[in-house]
Amino acid sequence: MPDNFYGGLDFGTSGARISIINLHKKLVYSNSVPYLYSFKNPNSWINSCENLLVNLPIEVKINLKKLAISGTSGTLTASNLQGEPIGEAIPYNQACNGDEILLESLTSGEDHLRTPYSSLAKALKLIDKYGTNIILRHQSDWITGWFLKDWTHGEEGNNLKLGWDLKKESWPNSYIDTSWQKCLPQIIKSGKIIGQVNFDLAERFKLNKKLLLISGTTDSNASLIAAGLRKEDGLTVLGTTIVVKKVIDKPIKKQGITNHRVNGDWICGGASNAGCGILSQFFSDLEIKELSRQINPSQKTSLNLLPLNSKGERFPINNSNLEPILGPRPVSDSLYLHALFEGLAKIELKGWEKLGELTGSLPKKIITIGGGSKNPQWRKIREEIISIPIVSCKKTTSFGTALLAINSK
């Protein structure tokens, strides 16, 4: 008898990955592809998705029972009422200034929505540009809609930065009489069955026509599911950006902090604009691997870099005008990489200090997931600077998304 399969698709900053697991939650297939166009272009997401679907083994396609999708938290796109994208998406790390008075009037007491990095600030920008005869969806919600050919729904965790209140399970009262409330999704909890794959799409890719689409989550929450985070643990996601998360007793409403509910637990976290993205601006993956071997992690450099991917920071401080410090650059490439690792570790430390200050405790152990977690020299530098034991998790974000699919109801 053929096995049943469950899939997780994750859309990051540079590309997409799929993980397929069986009934025993064992990984049976995975693949990743880079984006063909820019990250801001929603057609990039669909193109990479199509490539991953085409290359799925036929046995997986016809026995794929459920599929969930995760994406970058806070990347918002505008579409027409048929779900076709209008212009470029506004990425998670782009600040939208200019509507401060309106933003303030809509977010009384909601500091986490008042930042120019919030999805609400992005939504106001898109509405100002395209009017109110549009739909506004986050990356994973929009791609889920593409599978269903129905863009009605949005998953709760992806919409927190847009103003969805997890405790009250509603949009803010201040949205009620706005002309644009109709642009927002109907919210569905993470891990719930939304509907069946569109028939034409199933035919085109030879997928199981009874394939169920499951409401997904954010990429960092999918990482958290993959890592199996416990109460005394912390999670650092070292992807294009650095995300830190920990389990808490009750939500914390502060600028730069996001609260999620994952597997019945409250999780708080913050995301920096610094991360592996800055490394790829200077070095290839192979160069990073080779240069890392020349680094002595127990020695410190005298350089003090602030390696943001671009101007502006969201967390541990919220300042859309903060400039990166990427120099002076030494002659030695390995020394420069060492200094970049140190700078990133200092940002991670400040992130943990901020979460410790807000929650009253630091984690006893940090689990790390993402591309940067594989680098042993960086891990030792981080341990020296943060002074908390660090372990690497080899499971991918898309594996966590596949676990969400198999556990769905």
Residue by residue, DSSP assigns 385-399 as: HH-S-EEE----HHH
Q: Do the beta carbons of residue 406 and residue 3 sit within 8 Å?
A: no
CATH topology identical between 5-219+399-406 and 228-393:
yes
For residue 158, pLDDT beyond 80:
yes
- What would the mean pLDDT of 286-301 be, rounded to a whole number? 95
- What would the mean pLDDT of 159-175 be, rounded to a whole number? 91
- The CATH class of the 228-393 domain is alpha beta
Phi, psi (5° rounding) for residue 242?
Answer: -100, 125
For residue 144, pLDDT beyond 60:
yes
- What would the mean pLDDT of 84-111 be, rounded to a whole number? 85
Tens of pLDDT, residue by residue over 114-133, are: 888 899 999 999 999 999 99
Residues of the chain with pLDDT > 90: what percent?
Answer: 78
Quote the CA–CA distance of 69 and 373 in Å, as a whole number.
22
Strand ranges (E), 211-264: 212-218, 233-238, 242-248, 258-262
Average pLDDT of the residues of the chain? 93
Q: Which residues contact 309 (CB under 8 A, 6 or more apart)?
A: 93, 240, 241, 273, 274, 275, 277, 278, 281, 324
Q: What does the domain layout of the chain look like in residue ranges? A: 5-219+399-406, 228-393
Task: Give residue 34's pLDDT.
Answer: 95
Phi, psi (5° rounding) for residue 405?
Answer: -65, -45
pLDDT: which is higher, 135 or 394: 135
Q: What band does 89 get if pLDDT is binned at 50, 70 and 90?
A: very high
Q: What band does 303 get if pLDDT is binned at 50, 70 and 90?
A: very high
Q: Which residues contact 407 (CB under 8 A, 6 or more apart)?
A: 191
CATH superfamily of domain region 5-219+399-406: ATPase, nucleotide binding domain (3.30.420.40)
Task: Give residue 106's pLDDT.
Answer: 86
Quote the CA–CA distance of 139 and 76 in Å, as a whole number.
6
Quote the CA–CA distance of 403 and 70 in Å, as a whole number.
12
Task: Give residue 61's pLDDT.
Answer: 97
Tens of pLDDT, residue by residue over 345-370, are: 999 999 999 999 998 899 999 999 98
Report the candidate in 281, 280, 277, 311 with the shortest Cα–Cα distance to residue 117.
311
